[in-house]
Amino acid sequence: MPMSVYYQELRKKIGTQLILSPGVAAIVRNEHGEILFQQPSLESDIWSLPAGSIEPGETPAEATKREVYEETGLQVRPEKLLAVFGGEKFRYAYPDGNQVESVIFVFECVIEGGNLAAIDGESADLQYFPISSRPKLALPYPEEMFYPSASERTFFQ
């Protein structure tokens, strides 16, 4: 779903001005250890992790399951909270002018079922990439967040 009723109603009241938005992102790996990324538009070279906003009443893990399914068709289990990011570096202006500053819970997820296909129309393309050649991303996640082992993830040290 492109924008939930909750955010549509909020935008009617405040327009495009900056809002703080709790969100989630998922690192989903295939059997080769490659990471799944989604391209929202074929007109841009910007990609993202499967991600989205937390809706009222949802836990971050529930939002992760929902967003991954909507954007990729995959059913996942959020296995581990890898990091929480936020601040000015996580501001984004959408093509329609809506501005958000996200606080993002990033989960490492395990695929439990489903078929890789966009369900909600938010993904123009879905591809797995090796860590060494991941695409250009919309948000500045630290590179080591994508490493498979905890000993390689030094972004909080």
Q: pLDDT tens for residues 124-146?
A: 899 999 999 999 998 899 988 99
Give how far Cα 1 sits from Cα of 7, 107, 115, 142, 146, Å: 11, 20, 18, 28, 26
Distance CA 31, CA 50 (A): 18
**Amino acid making up residue 140:** P
Return the minimum-mean-pLDDT range out of 31-35, 43-47, 60-64, 111-115: 43-47
How many structural domains does the chain have? 1
| 57 falls within a domain | yes
Mean pLDDT on 80-100: 92
Q: What 8-state DSSP symbol labels residue 19?
A: E
| 155 falls within a domain | no
Q: Which residue has the higher pLDDT, 153 or 44?
A: 44
148 pLDDT above the threshold of 70: yes
| 71 falls within a domain | yes
Q: What is the pLDDT of residues 43-89, one digit of tens each?
A: 889 999 999 999 999 999 999 999 999 999 999 999 999 999 999 99
- Domain span at residue 94? 5-140
| 146 falls within a domain | no
| 73 falls within a domain | yes
CATH value at residue 118: 3.90.79.10
| 149 falls within a domain | no
